[in-house]
Each structure stands twice: as C-alpha cells, then as structure tokens.
Amino acid sequence: MLKRKHHESEELELTTLLNILVVLVSFLLLSAVFSKITIQELNMPPQGSGPSEASTNAAPLVIEVMLRQDGLEIGNGREVTDRLPKLGDKYDTAALSQKLKLLKDQNPGKRDVILLMEPDIAYSTMIKVMDALKFVEIQGPHGGSQRLRITLFPNVTVGDAP
C-alpha cells in the first residue's frame, strides 16, 4: 500500500498585495486632481484645396494670419495687409486681437480665420496666437475695471505658411 503524503493547502498571502493596491489607488487619485487637459479644435484644410475659380463678385472675405519667426502678418488671401513685428522675443498678440476686432466689426457674420505657420514655431506660441484669434478683451462700459471678452473668429484652420 502506497502512502500518499497529504499536503495541506497553503493559503495565499494577500495582505501585501492589498497594501500595494491601496497605495497605488490613493496615488492615482491624488495625481488625477493636478492634471489638466485643454482641447483646441482645429480645422484642417481639405487636401488638394486651392483657390477656387468662383466669381470674383461673390468672393468671400478670407482672413489669413501668418505666424513667422520675426512676427505676425495679416493677409486677405492675396496680399499681406498688416505686419506686426515681435516685441523683443514675444509676439504682439494684443495688437493682433485689436486689428482682428476691426475686421470683425466690418464683417460681423464672419467666424473663420486661417492660421499659417512657419516651421519650428513653438506649440505654446501657436496656442497663444490661436487665443488671440478667437477672443479679445476690452474695457467694460463706463470706464470701470470690468473687462469684457468678445468672441472674434472661433473657427481656426491651421496650415503651413508659404
């Protein structure tokens, strides 16, 4: 007769695993509070699009802002109408917003603008310029300290500058 050794089943030690999970969950919850995500909506021009052969009488207004290494340029699709050189090492986004506000006042129904960028422009710079294209802050009525935020051109199309 063969004797079989009877092994008692060993219990799994879960205490260490649970301790690690408690620390991991609390770490993930604490770090989630400090993360912030901002989403920018971009419209990309359709591939193969170019100037249309439409009638020149009904040609819609085109507003192009070129983000260059040496400054900003505002154009109408055919020529540059305004140049805003850099102020030191920063772009003059306040002046850009003011010039675009004048265009918005002349064309209140216009909602789109084209942002054309040169290579090697920093992402943070692009976001600052996009904010200047979308909104402008002006002095509130009656000369108070209140500032009003006016929407300019919320639909931004991004492309490469020529």
DSSP per-residue codes, 94-145: HHHHHHHHHHHHH-TT--EEEEEE-TT--HHHHHHHHHHHHEEEEEPGGG-S
Residue 88 has pLDDT above 70, yes or no: yes
**Residue 4 corresponds to which tokens in the numbers above?**
């079989």
pLDDT, residue 138, reads 79
How many Å apart are CA 100 and CA 137, to the nearest integer?
Answer: 12
Record the pTM: 0.61
Tokens for 25, please give them.
Answer: 């969950």
Lowest-confidence region among 8-12, 67-71, 122-126, 131-135: 8-12
- DSSP per-residue string spanning 20-33: HHHHHHHHHHHHHH
Q: Would you state the pLDDT for residue 162?
A: 79
Mean pLDDT over each residue of the chain, to the nearest integer = 80
Q: Please report, for the chain, the start and end positions of each structural domain, with discontinuous segments joined by +.
A: 64-160
Residue 5 pLDDT exceeds 70: no
22 pLDDT above the threshold of 50: yes
